């Protein structure tokens, strides 16, 4: 089954999610298998390179031809709307000289304002806004793929990175890349 969610369809689905909760709510639990892969945009890669900021995956995340893959540890999504959370392990390290910013243990939140949060030091911070308007969702057996999710920098993340690296180059809305979630539903017991 292949579906494409437009912005109005996504808003309508999310608006109906609380009403659906009144009845028995069916959820999809993701097994600790699969990954979310972020393909860095050319603009973001060029901006980081021009600032001499190196980006590296934090284990067990891995870089590959399709981008950086962050292993999924768990997830719970509404079976109809796919609203919910997807948790990951690993992360990204941004380094320039002696300055290093580690972003760890990402959580994707699919709600009325989809975003990706990361553990930064002792705090959890929203670092990416997620645009699901062009997302393509496919499901085959227990395999679930959500592709074409555009990721842009949040205002808080831009401010923190500008402060850490002594620049004003990071702006809210900077396109970071495109994400693809490829997970597997846990077996029902």
Measured CA to CA, the distance from residue 186 to residue 189 in angstroms comes to 9
Domain ranges of the chain: 30-185
pLDDT in tens, the chain (189 residues): 333 344 333 333 343 344 444 445 699 999 998 999 999 999 999 999 999 999 999 999 999 999 999 999 999 999 888 899 999 999 999 999 999 999 999 999 999 999 999 999 999 999 999 999 999 999 999 999 999 999 999 999 999 999 999 999 999 999 999 999 999 999 876
Best CA proximity match to 128, nearest among 107, 99, 101? 107
Q: What pLDDT, on the 0 to 100 scale, is given for residue 112? A: 95
Half-sphere exposure at residue 107, Cβ-oriented, CA atoms within 13 angstroms: 16
**Residues paired with residue 76 on neighbouring β-strands, in sequence order:** 29, 85
Please, what's the b/e burial string for 70-84 (b: 16 or more CB within 10 A of its CB; e: otherwise)?
bbbbbbebbeebbbb
């Amino acid at each position: 089954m292949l579906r494409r969610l437009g912005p109005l369809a996504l808003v309508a689905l999310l608006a109906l999610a609380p009403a659906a909760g009144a009845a028995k709510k069916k959820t999809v639990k993701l097994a600790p298998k699969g990954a979310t892969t972020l393909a860095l945009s050319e603009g973001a890669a060029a901006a980081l390179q021009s600032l001499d900021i190196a980006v590296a995956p934090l284990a067990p995340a891995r870089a590959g031809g399709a981008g950086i893959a962050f292993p999924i540890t768990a997830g719970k999504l509404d079976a109809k709307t796919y609203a919910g959370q997807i948790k990951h392990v690993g992360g990204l390290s941004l380094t320039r000289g002696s300055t290093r910013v580690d972003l760890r243990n990402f959580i994707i939140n699919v709600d009325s304002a989809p975003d990706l949060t990361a553990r930064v030091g002792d705090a959890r911070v929203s670092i990416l806004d997620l645009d699901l308007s062009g997302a393509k969702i496919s499901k085959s057996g227990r395999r679930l793929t959500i592709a074409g999710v555009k990721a842009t920098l949040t205002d808080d993340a831009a401010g923190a990175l500008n402060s850490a690296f002594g620049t004003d180059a990071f702006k809210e809305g900077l396109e970071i890349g495109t994400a693809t979630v490829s997970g597997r539903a846990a077996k029902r017991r």
